[in-house]
Amino acid sequence: MTTRSALTEDTLVVKAFGKRLGQPLATHKGVHTVGDLLELIPRRYLTPQELTDLGDLVVGESTTVVAKVRDVQLRPMRQRRGQLLTVIIGDGRHELDLTFFRPYPHKDRLTLGALGIFTGTIGRYAGRLQLTHPEYQVLDEHSADETVQDLQSHQIPIYPTTGAVTSLNLRTAMGVVLDSIDRIREPLPEDVRRKRGLLDRRAALELVHRPEVGVSVEPGRRRMRYDEAFVLQAILAQRRRVAAQSPSVPRVAISDGLLAAFDARLPFALTAGQQEAGRVLLDELARPHPMQRLLQGEVGSGKTVIAVRAMLAVVDAGGQAALLAPTEVLAAQHFRSITQLLGPLATSGMLPFGGTDPERGPVTSVALLTGGQSAGERRTALASIASGAAGIVIGTHALIQAHVEFFDLGLVIVDEQHRFGVEQRDALREKGKNPPHVLVMTATPIPRTVAMTVFGDMETLTLRELPAGRSPIVTHVVEASKPAWVARTWQRVAEEVAKGHQVYVVCPKIGSTAEQGGPASEGEDADGMDAVTDDADGHEDTDAPERTLAGVYAVTDQLRADPALAGLRVATLHGRLDSGEKDRVMTEFAAGRIDVLVATTVIEVGVDVRNASMMVVLDADRFGLSQLHQLRGRVGRGGVPGLCLLMTGTDASSARERLDALASTTDGFELARRDVQLRREGDILGARQSGRGSSVRFLRLGHADDEALIEAARHDATAVVDLDPELTQHPDLAARVAARLDEEQAAYLERG
């Protein structure tokens, strides 16, 4: 610890504290500067205890003693490799042993004669009292009294430790920084700080890093959370400003085009929510700046129709619209159902988009582009996209590839946004000559805090109502360990089919008749999307030993052999089948020629077969809450009550909690809230969701208090940016914004 003067928030930790502290911090925690270091906040705090006299030690009691090192012994361990360090400390009259199973770095610190303060729980070994791996701090002889007093008057922060960097190292380093830094940046304007009753930043850091005994650190932590929200919201406010000012082509709907013809032939009445969403979208598409909308709606709330109507308005106005779907199965289904909904309005011919057929009136051509198509199909699709013949383009992320050129892309719609990264949305957006309008749709309801943070540059539209005629879905948890329950489940499947309905059976992996390995998530979609069981990853329970998970092939065989299901037509679907086969199976199932479809989560999103009334999810504990809700949304679509059975062999309580939550409600918004609460913090967005601006460190996204706080920060930051878009009057805030953007850029590059 050399340069103690002239520390600033920009001083490199390596420079201030040397490599031994600096390097592991940089590598493991991304802490490069002193400013970063100050943001490393303690996990928890210990209250210092009264000093105990070495003569009064009691086995089993936690104790703090001040003593000198009297002896140091290093010897090989008997049972395993490595060395055992025993340090004997004493006060001249009594002695105590300290035992370390990892000598480094203690043997260099606890040298003969060193004075220290030691904390731990007293144990006994071979008749002698001892502390195993105590927390300790070596004291300077001259200032020992002072240091001990200081230590006794403060709570002891426990930092997340990294390799050789201990909590104590960090505590010491924080003390040095706080004592010698000349200035701490204050990104919050004074009036905001006062209005929100927040500590100033220095006081907050003091409180967080060295709180006195008996005070609450909460005001300090609250200030850290507010700062995080404020900086993020300032970035989002700047982004919204840029978008609001960048030009886009207004796409003004006409009254006698495709949209009108489509509305006239719709077989159902739009719900009030669908109508309202349509109005908002048409209005925004007609503006000269790019629309940025997030449409969230419960599973089955009818988002596709809204998307089609917006696309038709754009085609009517002379532009093209692209619909990006996360899987081939979903893209193909959209293609089928949209061409069907369009009926005679869709032409497979090469009429110019928005063209008028002399006999039929307005028509457009719909193109499908996926990775699994034949070269010929793809060539045709690419040509019609480039020439503008295709007004509506549907595809997987094959659409994003560089060689895909649009004639005039006016609207980008991303379906099931939760399956994409933000970069993919942006990549498609790049394909417009002018920034196209953007509509992002998701059926996984996004809690407000997340929406404001991750999608804070978009305006949100919410569909709460389901179309009339939907039947409730009943959900039960089935214990796989009870043979009678399992038998009853398959019997129930047979009964459902006997009533003329169809059934999905969902498995967590593909497996194969030959070889049972490989999770379904591996290369699940032929397009290379591996977004299948990622929701489940955050929920890995430690219910060892590893169970054998149900695979689609094994289950298909099992069901075909089950006498209870004799005569039923059972088929298999998963992402690794080639596109033609996937398409064939889905078409057959949709046509009612398959009774039981055994599938992976490839059917998770969007699949819409009205006659399907029952779903059995095997190893249900392997899936995330939102994912199960999505899956369950595949049944109960056509006026027949839906039944969802979640089979599980786990007794891990967190898994059961999740499944019970799912069984207790069908409200996706409520489930999303619980999901966020049940997950560990930081886990919330998962790798796939973590596009720009999404990772948070201090904010608790499922938390109601933080919702209010983010709301306040959004309000305050927007006001600041409105008055001073470049933040020239707010250099400290500008510095924080720049640092945050750098961090995101780095994270983005790392992900590739």
**Interacting residue ranges for Mg ion, rule: CB under 5 A:** 606
List the single partner that 747 binds among ligand ADP, Mg ion, none, CB under 5 to 8 Å by kind. none
Question: Distance between CA 568 and CA 583 in Å, rounded?
Answer: 21
Contacts of 406 (CB under 8 A, 6+ apart): 320, 322, 385, 386, 388, 393, 431, 432
**Which of 301, 444, 572, 613 is the binder for ligand ADP (CB under 6 A)?**
301
Which residue's CB comes closest to Mg ion? Answer: 606
Q: Which does 157 bind (CB under 5 to 8 A by kind): ligand ADP, Mg ion, none?
A: none
Are 503 and 491 in contact, with CB atoms under 8 Å apart? Answer: no
Residue 278 makes contact with ligand ADP by CB under 6 A: no
C-alpha distances out from residue 172 to 1, 117, 158, 193, 693, Å: 10, 14, 12, 29, 32
Q: How far is CA 247 from CA 252, 316, 435, in A?
A: 15, 20, 7
CB of 273 to ligand ADP, least distance (A): 9
- Beta bridge pairs of residue 362: 356
Is residue 299 at the binding interface for ligand ADP, with CB under 6 A as the rule? yes
Q: CB-hemisphere CA count at 13 Å for 439? A: 30
* 575 contact, one of Mg ion, ligand ADP, none, CB 5-8 Å limit per kind: none
Only segment of 164-172, 302-310, 549-557, 699-707 that touches ligand ADP (CB under 6 A):
302-310
Nearer to Mg ion by Cβ, of 170 and 473: the residue is: 473
Q: Is 296 in the site for ligand ADP (CB under 6 A)?
A: no
Nearer to ligand ADP, 274 or 502 (CB): 274
Least separation in angstroms between residue 323's CB and Mg ion is: 10
In this structure, what token pair is assigned to residue 27? 């590598």
Of 43-102, binders to ligand ADP (CB under 6 A) are none
Which helix (H) or strand (E) element contains residue 213?
A: none
Cβ atoms of 693 and 421 closer than 8 Å: no
**Closer to ligand ADP by Cβ: residue 235 or 590:** 590
270 binds, among Mg ion, ligand ADP, none (CB under 5 to 8 A by kind): ligand ADP
Any idea what the Cα angle at residue 236 is, between residues 230 and 240, rounded to 5°?
Answer: 140
φ/ψ of 112, rounded to 5, equals: -55, 130
Nearer to ligand ADP, 250 or 467 (CB): 467
- Counting other chains too, the contacts that 227-230 makes at CB distance below 8 Å and 24 or more residues apart are 227/187, 227/188, 227/201, 227/698, 227/736, 228/696, 228/697, 228/698, 228/699, 229/453, 229/699, 229/706, 229/709, 229/710, 229/712, 229/713, 229/714, 230/187, 230/188, 230/192, 230/713, 230/716, 230/717, 230/733
Minimum CB separation of residue 606 from Mg ion in Å reads 4
Q: Per CB under 6 A, does 303 bind ligand ADP?
A: yes
* Three-state DSSP class for residue 74: strand
Nearer to ligand ADP, 117 or 305 (CB): 305
Q: Is 552 in contact with 507 (CB distance < 8 Å)?
A: yes
Pick 363 or 590: Cβ nearer Mg ion: 590
Query: Hey, what's the torsion of the CAs at 217, 220, 221, 224, to 10 degrees?
Result: -170
Q: What's the CA dihedral at 700, 701, 706, 710 to 10 degrees?
A: 130
Among 3, 141, 268, 641, binds ligand ADP (CB under 6 A): 268
Which residues from 396-455 bind ligand ADP, rule CB under 6 A?
443
Mapping DSSP to helix (H, G, I), strand (E, B) and coil, where does residue 543 land? Answer: coil
Could you give the CA distance from residue 459 to residue 85 in angstroms, rounded to a whole number? 61
Q: How far apart are CA 395 and CA 319, in angstroms?
A: 17
- Binding to ligand ADP by CB under 6 A, coded x per residue (else -) over 590-629, reads ----------------x-x---------------------
Q: Among ligand ADP, Mg ion, none, what does residue 297 contact (CB within 5–8 Å per kind)? A: ligand ADP
274 binds ligand ADP (CB under 6 A): yes
- Could you tell me the smallest distance in angstroms from the CB atom of residue 248 to Mg ion? 25
305 binds ligand ADP (CB under 6 A): yes
Q: In this complex, which beta carbon is closest to ligand ADP, that of residue 290 or of residue 297?
A: 297
For residues 278 and 354, which CB has a smaller minimum distance to Mg ion in the complex?
278
Q: Which stretch binds ligand ADP (CB under 6 A): 31-39, 218-226, 297-305, 530-538?
A: 297-305
How far apart (Å, rounded) are the C-alpha atoms in residues 10 and 2?
Answer: 16
Q: Tell me the C-alpha distance between 38 and 175, whole Å.
A: 10
Nearer to ligand ADP (CB atom), residue 320 or residue 333: 333
Instruction: Quote the DSSP letter at residue 84.
Output: E
Q: Which of 37, 323 has the CB closer to Mg ion?
A: 323
Contact between 271 and ligand ADP per CB under 6 A: yes
* Among residues 290, 302, 435, 691, the one that binds ligand ADP under rule CB under 6 A: 302
Binding partner of residue 300 among ligand ADP, Mg ion, none, CB under 5 to 8 Å per kind?
A: ligand ADP
Using CA atoms, how far apart are residues 311 and 314, in angstroms rounded to an integer?
Answer: 5
Partners of 295 in the β-ladder: 441, 461
Pick one of ligand ADP, Mg ion, none as the site partner of residue 640 (Cβ within 5 to 8 A by kind): none
Our finding on whether 320 is near ligand ADP (CB under 6 A) is no
Which is closer to ligand ADP, CB of 135 or CB of 608? 608
Q: How many residues bind ligand ADP (CB under 6 A)?
A: 17
* Shortest reach from residue 701's CB to ligand ADP, in Å: 24
Least distance CB 573 / Mg ion (angstroms): 18
List residues near ligand ADP by CB under 6 A: 268, 270-271, 274, 297, 299-305, 443, 467, 606, 608, 637
